[in-house]
């Protein structure tokens, strides 16, 4: 996974989360990885 600092100004930024069911041990639990997409035009 690429990790880098953000530029100080972005034209558009989208933030979202995707809820997925994960078998983490005995119970199945919901996890929500966060998704961020930035567009600088």
Supply the pTM of this predicted model.
0.44
* Angle value at C-alpha 32, between 1 and 38, nearest 5 degrees: 50
Q: Is 8 left (phi over 0), alpha (psi -120 to 50) or beta?
A: alpha
Structural domain of residue 18, as residue ranges? 1-41
Under the banding of pLDDT at 50, 70 and 90, the label for residue 6 is confident
Count of domains for the chain: 1
Over range 5-27, report the average pLDDT: 83
Output the pLDDT for position 19: 92
Over range 2-22, report the average pLDDT: 83
Output the pLDDT for position 1: 67
């Amino acid at each position: 996974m690429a990790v880098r600092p953000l530029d100080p100004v972005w034209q558009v930024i989208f933030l979202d989360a995707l809820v997925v069911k994960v078998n983490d041990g005995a119970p199945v639990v919901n996890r929500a990885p966060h998704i961020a997409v930035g567009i600088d035009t």
